[in-house]
Chains A and B, each alone.
Chain A
Amino acid sequence: MYGVQLDHLAAVLGVSESRARGIAAGWRSQRYAESARLGPGGPWTWLTRSGLTACGLPYAPAAPALGRLAHIRAVAAVRLALESASRYATAGGYWRSERRLRARMGGRVGLREHIPDGEVHWPDDAPAPWAGECWAIEVELTPKTARRTLAIMRELLTRTGDYGGPAAGTAAAGNQSPGPPRHARVLYLCAPAARPTVARAREALGAPGARIEIRQLPPGAAMAPPRGQAAAPPRGQAAAPPRGQAAAPPRGQAAAPPRGQAAAPPRGPAAAPARGQAAQ
């Protein structure tokens, strides 16, 4: 995770936004984190070199790239939504972020090589039918070309080696007898605009397309609209959070929403919206 917006931080910590703001200020004073308002919505918080060292993370410190804010937020929302699912916790799933994958590759990512937005590893002895699988996670906000999407799908489905491992991807490079694929399945989380392209690409894949799951982005994945714009829901997305759980309070929060927020979204921590996002 390159950075996290205040509402997501509050969801992760299981506290209100004002409390999360205070916690982030504490980290900032200890020089563990930086915080700034980079775009619409709440402020972003990201770890400094000291913070990364304290957490034992071997990443290069950097502020979230402005051009990727929406994507980073969507990936964070997907991760939070997945991690808050009870089956995920029961099965002991492990999220391996894109940043970790890139760190493993040590800057040797090929120009045409695609790194997924995350991986989910399931332990071999997990009490779930998908135990032992490794999933690739892709978040699509805007539609790519179907050809590019198809190429990415093929790459993800045929990859055999780990990222950053020696000779990883040998099988994908044309080995006649590839080994077992690294990713048992690929999970696409799509914004409504990107979904048709992803679905078309999956159809074009044929039988291997059965290993691709397509889902909507969870509520709270989209950036808050800029000031002065109405918080209209995206095309095709319902105004209210699905599954009728809108009234359920977030983990660790009282039922009353923080100031300026509408009723809390489903399983709040994963999808707690920022101010103005409740209508999505």
Chain B
Amino acid sequence: MSKRRGVSGIRLLAARAAIRATVRLLLAAAAAALIIAAAPVSVVAVSGSAFAWLTGWPPGRLYRAALCCVPMLAVWLAVTAIATRSASQVAAAPYLAWLAMWHRGAAGSYPAAAAVIAPPAIPAGLAAGGLAWSYRIRSMEAGSGGLSPDAAVSFDLRQWRHQARSARARISAPGAVPLTTRSEGIVAGAVIRAVRHPARPIATIPYARVRSHQVVVGTTGTGKTTLLLRLWAGFMATALLRHAAGRGKAPLLVVLDCKGGADARRIADRARRVLRLAGARSTAIWPDEASLSVWALPPEQLTTTLVDLIEHGTGAAAYYADVMEAVVELAVSAPCGPPASSADFLARLDTGWLSLAYSSGHEAELALVRSAARQVGDIGLRFRTLLRRLGGGLDGAGGFGDADAWYCILEGTAEISVAQAQARALVDLLASYAAGRAGPLEGREILLAVDEFSAVSRRLPVWQLYERARSLGLAVQVSAQSWQGLAADDDERYRIAAAADGGIWLLRTPSPEAVAALAGTRKVTDTTRRLIGVPVWSHRGTSRIRLAPVVDPDLIRALDVGQAAYIYRGGVTYVQVKRLVAGPAALPAPHRPPAPAPALAQVGATERTPGCAEPTDPAPRPPRPTRPYRAAATSPEPLPDVGALLDDAFGSEPGS
């Protein structure tokens, strides 16, 4: 009995297996028949999916391609309607085209067959290909696709390679990646991959984001300078166009390169050429070719800046700092006006000069001079040393308004204390310039880009710079080689990152976790359900939602040169940055006529109160190593005669 039961059970199992196999066979045959019957659509779908796989396209691009073909379909239907004048014929047009395709194919005229079926088959095929590709991606993301358990990982790595290759191809195509767009966007390069950002072929940053605070983190040799140059040129070109159209103020780009050295000079030269292509009339390189005047600051600001330039400690040293501030205040606020130059200022740090200046009707100040008489000489000595070390870069006649762009090189590596003082003075000068031109007409749209500012920011923390900049309408772009290089401690770093409204650019860096975490997480589904058909999932198994980081730190560590991740509002776009090639340096250098005498010096000479002592020049004025910078202008000089060359080439003119 039991033996009979066992045999029948085996038979039942065999029958069920045979039925299942038959059903699967039938389904596969039906699918194959459908694929063959719809051969044109199948061919386009397979080609589209394969192309998307090869180039790393997202499915959306196949859908958009299908949409772009819809006009062709509409025209074809319209022509059919006009030719047949029958609605039923129009409705049957795809079927008739399909029939005609098979007939022509059977007759051996394959091109004609393809032409007949193309209008309905191409959009339908692209859409089907998009669906198939989307299904593939989703199944791989869920971990249920692929032949092996780790297929999802290798699929993702392979897709990254494909996407990066496509992006590289796109940026190498001439004209494919412009600098700016019509909608006033700044193009950084080609998109490799986007997570929670729209997947577009070109990575475009709206102008408003460049006018907000941004952070750039990337080690040396990862393409950080290339990215920065592109952003600066994009800012300059867009702002100039907006200004020309009356929609914005004239731009001003100020770059503080806090590393210095020969490398900074090379980048400065490259920046000048790139910015010239972007429309900048003049780029001043400080302190090598242009100088600024710290004496142009308002007296109250000048006192603070001068005092902050000098190192002074805490505790007992605070007393000395107070005395120094009082003496500097006396020298700057003398009745005869503020000092016009270093020499003028140093001459005032003298008890005799101060006594004479405040001799009539300034009893309180005179008492101060007398009480600080013992320290005045020491203070003068310290300032003399400091101003000598600072060089002529802050003692010239120029101002930030003289050029469209300033590239300021601070020797933060070689002379850190000097660079710190220079950074403080430059930021104060820029803040004063921005505050003094707050009017709607004379203002400038200012972008302050600081590279490795933390190296010189001991006297002006970056977050303080951010807050000052925000109040003045300046945009600050801070770049560093690492997260740690952004600021001295984590609090300050997070404060900087939180204030980066314009987004964070992350290039290859050894420890990107902290920055990557700023992008947040996204929901990802892991499932153990099996895919038992197309598109049927088994109900056995479970799915689990987990949070995965939007930015994969391992991916950041593996970024190639020129690849960057742009983090903005919880999403990331991986970009292959397009290198901006500067034009040949064959054009003449901007004409720089000799600058007039400093305006402040003239004021100081003419507006001295009667009776106020003329300061004695304590030492012969040192020659200025830099020349004052003036914006380039059309040369008023007559052009040199080229008649001899033209006579030589084309013959002399009749009558000449």
Q: Which residues of A contact B (CB under 8 A)?
A: 58, 78, 81-82, 84-88, 91, 94, 106-108, 121-124, 128-130, 132-134, 160-162, 165-168, 170-171, 173-175, 177-182, 184-185, 187, 189, 210-211, 213, 215-219, 241-243, 266, 270
Cβ–Cβ contact A161 & B651, under 8 A: no
Cβ–Cβ contact A210 & B638, under 8 A: yes
Taken together as a complex, chains A and B put the C-alpha atoms of A184 and B639 apart, in Å, by: 8
Cβ–Cβ contact A81 & B650, under 8 A: yes
List chain B residues, Cβ under 8 A from A171. Answer: 279, 281
Q: Which residues of B contact A (CB under 8 A)?
A: 174-175, 178-180, 233-234, 236-237, 240-241, 243-244, 276-282, 583-591, 631-635, 638-642, 644-646, 648-653
Q: A166-B180, A180-B634 are in contact. Are A160 and B279 (CB under 8 A)?
A: yes
List chain A residues, Cβ under 8 A from B276. Answer: 161
Q: 5 A-B contacts, Cβ less than 8 Å apart?
A: A132-B587, A134-B588, A174-B244, A177-B281, A270-B649
How many whole Å from B234's CB to the nearest CB in chain A?
8
Cβ–Cβ contact A82 & B649, under 8 A: yes
Cβ–Cβ contact B281 & A166, under 8 A: no
A-B residue pairs, 5 tightest by C-beta: A179-B281, A106-B175, A129-B640, A132-B588, A167-B279
Taken together as a complex, chains A and B put the C-alpha atoms of A161 and B380 apart, in Å, by: 49
Cβ–Cβ contact A167 & B281, under 8 A: no
List chain A residues, Cβ under 8 A from B640. Answer: 128-130
Q: A160-B279, A166-B179, A166-B279 are in contact. Are A243 and B652 (CB under 8 A)?
A: yes
List chain B residues, Cβ under 8 A from A129. Answer: 640-642
Which of B240, B583, B632 sits near A162, CB closer than 8 Å? B583
Beyond known contacts A128-B645, A133-B588, A166-B179: 12 more, CB 8 A cutoff: A165-B277, A167-B241, A168-B279, A170-B237, A170-B244, A171-B279, A187-B646, A210-B639, A215-B653, A218-B649, A218-B650, A266-B651
> Across the two chains, which residue of chain A brings its CB closest to B250?
A177
> Across the two chains, which residue of chain A brings its CB closest to B404?
A179
Cβ–Cβ contact A180 & B175, under 8 A: no
**Majority DSSP secondary structure for residues of A touching B:** loop
Which of B585, B588, B633, B646 sits near A215, CB closer than 8 Å? B646
Cβ–Cβ contact A185 & B642, under 8 A: yes
Taken together as a complex, chains A and B put the C-alpha atoms of A106 and B652 apart, in Å, by: 38
Taken together as a complex, chains A and B put the C-alpha atoms of A73 and B278 apart, in Å, by: 34
Cβ–Cβ contact A162 & B277, under 8 A: yes
Cβ–Cβ contact B648 & A180, under 8 A: no
Cβ–Cβ contact A84 & B244, under 8 A: no
Taken together as a complex, chains A and B put the C-alpha atoms of A140 and B635 apart, in Å, by: 28
Cβ–Cβ contact B645 & A88, under 8 A: yes
Q: A121-B584, A179-B281 are in contact. Are A216 and B175 (CB under 8 A)?
A: no
How many whole Å from B568's CB to the nearest CB in chain A?
23
How many whole Å from A106's CB to the nearest CB in chain B?
3
List chain B residues, Cβ under 8 A from A216. Answer: 650-651, 653
Cβ–Cβ contact A167 & B652, under 8 A: no
> Across the two chains, which residue of chain B brings its CB closest to A245?
B651
How many whole Å from B249's CB to the nearest CB in chain A?
12
How many whole Å from B205's CB to the nearest CB in chain A?
15
Taken together as a complex, chains A and B put the C-alpha atoms of A211 and B237 apart, in Å, by: 28
List chain B residues, Cβ under 8 A from A241. Answer: 651
Taken together as a complex, chains A and B put the C-alpha atoms of A173 and B243 apart, in Å, by: 11
Cβ–Cβ contact B586 & A170, under 8 A: no
Cβ–Cβ contact B648 & A58, under 8 A: no
Taken together as a complex, chains A and B put the C-alpha atoms of A108 and B180 apart, in Å, by: 13
How many whole Å from B231's CB to the nearest CB in chain A?
13
Cβ–Cβ contact A180 & B590, under 8 A: yes
List chain A residues, Cβ under 8 A from B585. Answer: 124
Taken together as a complex, chains A and B put the C-alpha atoms of A275 and B282 apart, in Å, by: 52
List chain A residues, Cβ under 8 A from B277. Answer: 161-162, 165-168
